[in-house]
A = this chain, B = another copy of it.
Amino acid sequence: MNKKQKDQTTEQKILEAARAVFMEQGMAGARMQDIADKAGINKALLHYYFRNKNKLFEVIFLDAAARFMPRVSMLFESEQPLFDKIRAFTTTYMNMLSENPYLPTFILTEMHKQDGAKFLEKIWGGEKPPVEKLAAQVRKEAAKGIIKPINPLELILNMVSMCVFPFAAKPMAKLVFNLSEAQFKQVMEQRKTSVAQFIIDSIRK
C-alpha cells in the first residue's frame, strides 16, 4: 500500500472542488465534469473516489450543515452572563460566515429538499441542542429584572436572522443599497459588533 505525501492528496483536491461547485450551483446545478475540471482530474477518477454524485454531495452537505449549525455549546452550556453569550456568538458566527459566503443559501435551499431527520441524526446523533438550558437562563435573568421577558425561541431566531440573512442576501443588498464589494464588507465588519448591541438594547431593562 502507498500513501500520498504530495502537497495535496487527490481526495482533498476533489473535496475542495466539490465544495466550491456544489455551494455555488446547488445539487441540481452542479456538474460532475465541472468538479473534475476544477480538481484537475478526469470524471472517471472522480467516480473512482466517490461512487456517484449523491454520495459526494452527502459528504459536502453534511460538512456544510455541521458548520452552519455551529458549536452552540457556548450558548447553551457555559455559565456566562446572557449578554456576553450574545456578543460572543454573533461575532464568532459572523466571522465564520464571512469566510463561507455561499454557505447560507446552499444549506437553506438544500434543506428544503433533503430529509431533515436523516441529517440531524448524522450531525448530532439524533440529539438536539439543549435549548431548554438557554431558555432557563433567559427566564432567570428576566426574573432578576436584568432583561425584559422574551420568548427564548424568538430571541434565538432574531439573533441568527440578523447574523445570517445579510450574507444570504448579499447580491440583493449590494443592488438595493448601491454598495461596492468593499463597502459591503465594511458594513458586515461593523455588524460583527452592532448586531449584539442591537439585541442587547432591545431586551435590556
Q: Is A162 an interface residue (CB 8 A)?
A: yes
Partner of A162 from B112, B158, B168 at Cβ < 8 Å:
B158
A178/B128 in contact, CB under 8 A: yes
**Residues of B with C-beta under 8 A to A109:** 26, 105, 109
Q: How many residues of A contact B (CB 8 A)?
A: 54
Q: Is A48 an interface residue (CB 8 A)?
A: no
Q: Is A198 an interface residue (CB 8 A)?
A: yes
**Residues of B with C-beta under 8 A to A165:** 157, 160-161, 164-165, 168
Interface residues of A (CB under 8 A from B): 24-29, 69, 102, 105, 107-109, 111-113, 116-117, 120, 128-129, 131, 148, 150-151, 153-154, 157-158, 160-162, 164-166, 168-169, 171-178, 187, 190-191, 194-195, 198-199, 201-203
**Residues of B with C-beta under 8 A to A166:** 157, 161
Known A-B contacts A128-B176, A178-B128; the reply to A24 vs B112 at CB < 8 A is: yes
The CA of A202 and the CA of B191, in the complex, are separated in Å by 15
Residue of chain B at shortest CB distance from A24:
B112
Residue of chain B at shortest CB distance from A187:
B153
Of A129, A148, A168, A178, chain B has the most CB atoms within 10 Å of the CB of A168
The CA of A176 and the CA of B70, in the complex, are separated in Å by 12
B176/A129 in contact, CB under 8 A: yes
Partner of A148 from B28, B113, B201 at Cβ < 8 Å:
B201
